[in-house]
């Protein structure tokens, strides 16, 4: 029997866990909008709200019982992008006062050092637990050796850091981090079935413009239901074909094409048969596309849900007004 | 040669804790002339055990030796060839069919193991004959035949690889009585005529009684019995194995209780019928 | 309760799956429909629940003629559990699946909760209400399917090869449940199967061959028709075959035959 559950839900009993999923989803959307409305600037009117959101997210994380480390790990996929953006902003924005100037040298020695660093990083990274910090450290060292080793120089260049560049770099960094933390908190504290329900509910207004929300909701729910089953079946087919000699490791490229076909076709066949059987089963149980149905899921809005909505709307409102003024 | 398990355990990585699907299993299986049934309650580890026999799974502890190749292997050692020597037929194998024609699908296995197009075709035709798939079906789509035929095509796909040992995971599951009979007859013939070792997972104790010579019983991941089938059914601790009795033995025990018929084990229909006719005359 | 008159169905011009089938099923009885693959059993069950429209003939369910107008009413009377446990499990959890039929019937929320709890308990799955289908065994999924049908208060339940894909443990679970539904709850049960030991438990057997009714009657009567059964690729259970073969031999002690018959009566 499988122990896979789809999604990243981490069980817990914090108030954030217990908050109505529709409220959580709405809050996420509102806060995301708010975060992106705040203009990139070094004015206090931009820094304060962004910083406040950041601190707010940290407080939420601690109150939800989700370990901060897990949330930070959500940054892993984009750490390269983040670092790149940070350095672009840091070195190439000129405005305000010059803080410091660096002379970097691309010399034979520094290039060698960089190559050694990269090799060392790739070999050693599997032994390090705090990957993100390690990556940042190596990046810092890459610059550092260019500063330190001008021997046998090939090319020198100068990078200036202005205070505005520093502020902007920091600002964008915090903004992206905020987005990741917000989204992670939602997926960590909400069960997939609840998220499904939240998405359905929030799409409901689209009914007014004749979008078949109920049908979309049913499709979404069926997809969720079948993902673990399909994964299990795909694994079985992979093993069956492996038993007939399919081996992704030990084969040439042209063989790979037919190997993939040997996996895809059975999965398609199973899925089409399933669609037919499922359609029959649903029809016999009285399902009519587009007909009115009651729902077993019932979520009651409580006091904390209403308060949360109010707080979120106030924050959003404040941000919009500061923007408009 | 053959397959040896030496204190083998396999642990699945769970959410917080690893749990052993099978633990401390040891046995020897010869490369020829064995007909072994592997039985045990659902979840006892039979499928996990059997997937070690063609190196689909590698032991987390202990060693598995397949035709003198030791597993787990060293890094970069090639083990794919073992899957040609030990052919594994999965449950509901008809799900593995995918090719345009039946013949092409049966040829898939041999071709993956470096048979030429011509060789693969010969092997495929031989295998198709063994399972009773007629020439007229060779160019048909594998999806336009009955379920029972699909199963035989899938089995042919493994037989075409000409493995030395055949491992079957519940080969008769989902088949009607006639289909079951036909399929088992194919395996029986391979065992008798080609002397290949056959290892079969099954829940059907009647099949065990009729076909198996040796039985391995798994209970919660451990091997609790490994020996001749006759001794299994007489075993003093049979209750603890959570197995059903084969029907012929159940009938004999019932008759012993009801009318005092002397109990003498018989494992298939013809011999039981014969015995009853001899023993109980007016 | 169910009347089938001159029912014919063809999938296309050359393929007549059912030919002028006539049968009737009494309220509260347990009838097994047997036949080889391609005998028309599944086609018959699909016609009975209105998934297929007969090319000829008609069906009455509890007095109501089966037609498009009556379909919603008919769907409240007759339900079906199919062979593949995964291909009929709609809900994200057990609770949601049992609820599915009730939601379609627009049952009010609180009533749904009561029914779900009641029928989950009846089939022994009350501890699994929040489990997802991939965490369940085949037998458990089929029990959930039965609970879903029961929750719709359908009096007739068709089980179309519902145990074919299950292991012996799962099969026994379903057999026990069916016995309970028929004997204690008085549901009309139609089982479609090729397993004669399973069919032997029912009140009446109908054997189909090539789209027509070959034999009909009580298990005892039908099991005598060995040649006809063999022509349908149906095999008598071990003990019954033994009984039949030994009965032919006049020198066999009747006490042996009696004891054998007693063995066959328990499953």
Residues on B contacting A at a C-beta cutoff of 8 Å: 14-15, 43, 51, 54, 56, 78, 80, 83-84, 87-90, 93, 95-98, 108-109, 111-113, 143, 157-158, 161
Q: Helix A213-242 to helix A192-203 angle, to the nearest 10 degrees?
A: 140
Q: How confident is the model at residue A3 (pLDDT cuts 50, 70, 90)?
A: very low
CA C105 – CA C129 distance, rounded (Å): 21
CA C40 – CA C19 distance, rounded (Å): 9
When scoring C33, C39, C168, C175 by the number of chain B Cβ atoms within 10 A, the one with the most, hence best to mutate, is: C168
CB C67 within 8 A of CB C44: no
Cβ B177–C235 below 8 Å, yes or no?
yes
Nearest by CB: A285 against C100, C108, C112 = C100
pLDDT at residue B282 is higher than 70: no
CA C64 – CA C74 distance, rounded (Å): 8
Q: Pick from A1, B137, A47: which is nearest to C141 by CA?
A: A1
CA A45 – CA A41 distance, rounded (Å): 8
Rounded to a whole number, what is the distance in Å from the CA of B71 to chain C's nearest CA? 31
Q: Pick from C185, C181, C214, C179: which is nearest to C200 by CA?
A: C179
CA C114 – CA B258 distance, rounded (Å): 49
Dihedral over alpha carbons C188, C194, C198, C200 (to 10 degrees): 80
What are chain A's partners, defined as 3 or more CB pairs within 8 angstroms? B, C
- pLDDT at res. B21: 84
The count of CB pairs under 8 A between chains A and C is 101
Rounded to a whole number, what is the distance in Å from the CA of A19 to chain C's nearest CA? 19
Cβ B88–A250 below 8 Å, yes or no?
no
Q: Is the dihedral of CA A283, A228, A74, B19 positive or negative?
A: positive
CA C208 – CA C21 distance, rounded (Å): 9
Q: How confident is the model at residue C202 (pLDDT cuts 50, 70, 90)?
A: very high
- pLDDT at res. B242: 84
Cβ A244–B158 below 8 Å, yes or no?
yes
Which residue in C has a C-alpha nearest to residue A273's C-alpha?
C87
C147 touches chain A (CB under 8 A): no
Q: How confident is the model at residue A103 (pLDDT cuts 50, 70, 90)?
A: confident
**Average pLDDT of the residues of chain C:** 90
CA B132 – CA B117 distance, rounded (Å): 22
| Ordered domains of chain B (ranges, CATH) | 31-51+77-244 (3.40.50.300), 245-282 (no CATH)
Partners of C160 in beta bridges: C192
Partners of A286 on chain C (C-beta within 8 Å) are 72, 75-76, 101, 104-105, 152
CA angle C237, C242, C245 (to 5 degrees): 125
SS3 label, residue B151: helix
- pLDDT at res. B280: 66
Q: Tokens 């490994």 — which residue?
A: B226
What are chain C's partners, defined as 3 or more CB pairs within 8 angstroms? A, B
Q: Helix A108-124 to helix A131-148 angle, to the nearest 10 degrees?
A: 170
pLDDT digits (tens, 9 = 90+) for C43-63: 999 999 999 999 999 999 988
CA A263 – CA A270 distance, rounded (Å): 11
- pLDDT at res. A255: 76
Rounded to a whole number, what is the distance in Å from the CA of A296 to chain C's nearest CA? 6
Q: Tokens 């037998």 — which residue?
A: C139
Among A32-46, B142-156, B171-185, C17-31, the range scoring the smallest mean pLDDT is A32-46
Residues on A contacting B at a C-beta cutoff of 8 Å: 1, 3, 233, 236-237, 239-247, 249-250, 255, 261-262, 265-266, 269-270
Q: How far apart are the first and last CA of chain C?
A: 28
- pLDDT at res. C266: 66
Q: Is the dihedral of CA A283, A284, A285, A286 positive or negative?
A: positive
Partners of B167 in beta bridges: B88, B199
| pTM assigned to the model | 0.83
The DSSP code for B227 is E
Q: How far apart are the first and last CA of chain A?
A: 59
Cβ C259–B258 below 8 Å, yes or no?
yes
- pLDDT at res. A1: 36
- pLDDT at res. C43: 92
State mean pLDDT over A307-314.
86
SS3 label, residue A294: coil
The count of CB pairs under 8 A between chains B and C is 77
A127: left (phi over 0), alpha (psi -120 to 50) or beta: alpha
Here the tokens at position B207 are 């099949």
The DSSP code for B281 is B
What φ, ψ does residue B172 adopt, rounded to 5°? -100, 5
Examine residue B72 and say whether the peptide bond preceding it is cis (omega within 30 degrees of 0).
yes
State mean pLDDT over C92-96.
93
pLDDT digits (tens, 9 = 90+) for C206-258: 999 999 999 999 988 898 888 888 888 888 888 888 888 888 877 778 888 88
**Average pLDDT of the residues of chain A:** 84
CA A81 – CA A72 distance, rounded (Å): 15
CA C43 – CA A240 distance, rounded (Å): 32
Which residue in B has a C-alpha nearest to residue A251's C-alpha?
B112
Here the tokens at position B150 are 């699909």
- pLDDT at res. A86: 86
- pLDDT at res. B15: 52
Give the rounded distance of the alpha carbon of A170 from its chain centre: 20
CA B68 – CA B49 distance, rounded (Å): 18
Rounded to a whole number, what is the distance in Å from the CA of B52 to chain A's nearest CA? 11
Partners of A237 on chain B (C-beta within 8 Å) are 95-96
Among A113-122, B149-158, C92-101, the range scoring the smallest mean pLDDT is A113-122
- pLDDT at res. B18: 63
* Domain spans of chain A, in order of start: 15-190+304-324, 213-289
Nearest by CB: C253 against B177, B203, B280 = B280
Partners of B147 on chain C (C-beta within 8 Å) are 37
CA angle C161, C163, C166 (to 5 degrees): 135
Q: Which residues contact C121 (CB under 8 A, 6 or more apart)?
A: none
- pLDDT at res. A13: 82
Q: How many helices (H) and strands (E) does chain C have?
A: 11, 10
Nearest by CB: C242 against B203, B206, B273 = B273
Cβ C259–B277 below 8 Å, yes or no?
no
Residues C74-105 as b/e (b if ≥16 CB within 10 A, e otherwise) read bbebbbbbbbbbbbbbbbbbbbbbbbbbbbbb
pLDDT at residue A250 is higher than 70: no
- pLDDT at res. A2: 42
Q: Which residues contact A141 (CB under 8 A, 6 or more apart)?
A: A117
pLDDT-above-70 percentage for chain B: 97
Q: Pick from A82, A69, A83, A55: which is nearest to A184 by CA?
A: A69
Cβ C104–A293 below 8 Å, yes or no?
yes
Partners of C82 on chain A (C-beta within 8 Å) are 277, 280-281
């Amino acid at each position: 029997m499988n122990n896979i559950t789809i999604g990243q839900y981490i069980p817990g009993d914090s108030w954030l866990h217990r908050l109505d999923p529709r409220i959580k989803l709405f809050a996420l959307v509102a806060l995301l909008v708010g975060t992106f409305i705040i203009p990139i600037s070094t004015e206090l009117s931009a820094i304060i709200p962004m910083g406040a959101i950041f601190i707010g997210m940290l407080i939420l994380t601690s109150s939800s019982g989700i370990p901060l480390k897990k949330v930070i790990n959500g940054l892993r996929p984009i750490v390269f992008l983040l670092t790149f953006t940070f350095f672009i902003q840091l070195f190439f924005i000129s405005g305000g006062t010059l803080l410091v100037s660096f002379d970097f040298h691309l010399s034979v020695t520094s290039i060698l050092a960089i190559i050694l660093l990269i090799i060392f990083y790739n070999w050693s990274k599997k032994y390090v637990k705090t990957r993100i910090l390690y990556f940042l450290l190596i990046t810092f060292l890459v610059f550092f050796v260019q500063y330190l080793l001008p021997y046998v120089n090939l090319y020198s260049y100068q990078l200036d850091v202005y205070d505005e560049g520093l502020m902007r770099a920091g600002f964008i960094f915090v903004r992206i981090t905020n987005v990741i933390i917000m989204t992670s908190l939602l997926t960590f504290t909400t069960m997939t079935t609840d998220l499904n329900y939240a998405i359905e509910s929030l799409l409901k207004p689209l009914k007014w413009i004749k979008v078949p929300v109920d049908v979309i909701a049913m499709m979404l729910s069926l997809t969720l239901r079948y993902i673990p089953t399909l994964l299990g079946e795909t694994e079985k087919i992979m093993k069956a074909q492996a038993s007939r000699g399919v081996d992704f490791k030990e084969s040439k490229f042209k063989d790979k094409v037919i190997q993939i076909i040997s996996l895809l076709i059975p999965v398609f066949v199973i899925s089409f048969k399933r669609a037919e059987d499922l359609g029959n089963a649903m029809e016999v149980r009285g399902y009519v596309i587009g007909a009115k149905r009651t729902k077993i899921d019932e979520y009651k809005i409580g006091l904390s849900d209403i308060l949360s909505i109010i707080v979120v709307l106030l924050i959003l409102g404040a941000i919009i007004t500061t923007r408009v003024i | 040669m053959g397959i040896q398990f030496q204190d083998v355990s396999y642990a699945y990585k769970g959410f917080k804790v690893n749990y052993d699907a099978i633990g401390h299993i040891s046995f020897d299986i010869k490369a020829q002339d064995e007909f072994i049934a592997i039985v045990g309650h659902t979840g006892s580890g039979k499928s996990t055990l059997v997937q070690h026999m063609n190196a689909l799974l590698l032991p987390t502890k202990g060693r598995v030796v397949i035709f003198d190749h030791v597993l787990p292997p060293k890094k970069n050692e090639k083990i794919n060839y073992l899957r040609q020597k030990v052919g594994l037929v999965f449950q509901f194998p008809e799900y593995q069919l995918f090719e345009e024609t039946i013949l092409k699908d049966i040829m898939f296995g041999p071709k993956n193991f470096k048979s030429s197009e011509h060789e693969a075709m010969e092997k495929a035709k031989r295998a198709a004959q063994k399972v009773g798939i007629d020439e007229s079906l060779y160019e048909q789509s594998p999806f336009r035949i009955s379920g029972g035929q699909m199963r035989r095509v899938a089995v042919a796909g493994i037989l075409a690889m000409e493995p030395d040992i055949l491992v079957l995971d519940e080969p008769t599951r989902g088949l009607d009585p006639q289909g079951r009979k036909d399929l088992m007859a194919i395996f029986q013939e391979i065992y008798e005529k080609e002397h290949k070792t056959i290892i079969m997972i099954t829940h059907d104790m009647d099949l065990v009684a009729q076909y198996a010579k040796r039985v391995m019983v798994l209970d919660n991941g451990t091997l609790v019995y490994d020996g001749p089938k006759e001794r299994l059914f007489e075993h003093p601790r049979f209750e603890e194995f959570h197995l059903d009795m084969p029907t012929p033995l159940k009938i004999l025990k019932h008759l012993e209780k009801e009318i005092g018929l002397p109990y003498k084990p018989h494992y298939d229909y013809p011999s039981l019928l014969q015995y009853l006719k001899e023993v109980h005359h007016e | 309760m169910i009347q089938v008159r001159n029912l014919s169905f063809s999938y296309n011009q050359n393929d007549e799956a059912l030919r002028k089938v006539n049968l009737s099923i009494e309220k509260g009885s347990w009838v097994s429909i047997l036949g080889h693959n391609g005998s028309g059993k599944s086609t018959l069950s699909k016609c009975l629940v209105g998934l297929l429209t007969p090319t000829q003939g008609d069906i009455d369910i509890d007095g109501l003629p089966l037609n498009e107008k009556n379909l919603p009413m008919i769907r409240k009377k007759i339900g079906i559990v199919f062979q593949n446990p995964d291909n009929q499990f709609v809900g994200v959890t057990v609770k949601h699946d049992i609820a599915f039929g009730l939601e379609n019937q627009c049952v009010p929320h609180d009533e749904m909760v009561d029914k779900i709890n009641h029928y989950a308990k009846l089939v022994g799955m009350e501890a699994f209400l929040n489990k997802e289908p991939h965490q369940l065994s085949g037998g458990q999924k089929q029990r959930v399917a039965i609970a879903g049908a029961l929750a719709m208060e359908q009096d007739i339940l068709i089980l179309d090869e519902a145990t074919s894909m299950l292991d012996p443990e799962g099969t026994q679970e379903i057999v026990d449940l069916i016995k309970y539904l028929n004997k204690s709850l008085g549901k009309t049960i139609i089982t479609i199967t090729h397993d004669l030991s399973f069919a032997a438990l029912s009140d009446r057997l109908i054997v189909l061959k090539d789209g027509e009714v070959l034999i009909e009657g009580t298990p005892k009567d039908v099991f005598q028709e060995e040649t006809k059964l063999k022509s349908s690729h149906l095999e008598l259970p071990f003990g019954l075959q033994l009984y039949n073969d030994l009965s032919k031999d006049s020198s066999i002690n009747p006490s042996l035959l009696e004891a054998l018959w007693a063995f066959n009566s328990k499953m």
